Amino acid sequence: MDFFYPNRQNDMWRVMGLLFEQDPHHFETSDRKAFDRERITRFCTQRGIALYDTACEVKRLKDNASDKFLEVVTPTNITALLSQLADCQAIVTTGEKASTIIAQMAQCVTPNVGSKVDITLAGTKLHFWRMPSTSRAYPLKLEKKADLYHQMFAAEGIL
C-alpha cells in the first residue's frame, strides 16, 4: 500500500478527524470509500507529524495483518531518520510489534498502552509513547482510542 493506514478497516484517520476536526469522516473522500491522501499529507505537514514504519522489510508468516505473524527482516534505521528530523520530540508506536522494536533499539521497557517513557536515541532525548492500535481488531471503542491519542497529543503540545 502506498500510504500509512489506508485500509478502511483501520480507524487512524477517523481518530485524527475526531481529535482535530471533531468529525470522524473528515479525512475520507467525498464518497466515503477511501481516505484522502492529499488532505492527510497537508494535515501531517501542518501539524509536524511524520509517519514511518519500524521495519523496512518484513515477512508475513500468515495471510493476515496480525503483528503476531509478522517477522521483521530489516528494521528501520531510526538513527538515520532522527538525523533528518532535528525537531523530533517523540516517537509514537501504534502496535505491539512496533513498540517492541523501538524498546529494543532504545534499550528500555515497553510503555503500557497510552503511556510514555523517556529515551535517548542517536543522542536525542525523546518521549516514547505506546498508543493503542487503531485496527478494529483491537478491542477498544473509537472514542476511547481517540481519548488516549488526545492525551498524548496534548502532552506533546500538538493539540
Residue 95's pLDDT band, with cuts at 50, 70 and 90, is confident
Look at residue 55 and tell me if it is in a domain.
yes
What number is the average pLDDT over the span 117-123? 92
Domain residues for 87? Answer: 50-155
The closest alpha carbon to 42, from 81, 13, 9, belongs to 13
Compute the distance between CA of residue 103 and CA of residue 140 in angstroms, rounded to an integer: 23
Structurally, the chain folds into a number of domains equal to: 1
User: Is residue 73 included in any domain, yes or no?
Assistant: yes
**What per-residue confidence (pLDDT) applies to 59?**
86
Alpha carbons 42 and 21: distance in angstroms, whole number? 14
Cβ atoms of 8 and 134 closer than 8 Å: no
**With contact defined as beta carbons under 8 Å apart, do 10 and 135 qualify?**
yes
Taking alpha carbons only, the member of 50, 51, 62, 65 closest to residue 97 is 65
pLDDT of residue 65: 66
pLDDT higher than threshold 60 for residue 1: no
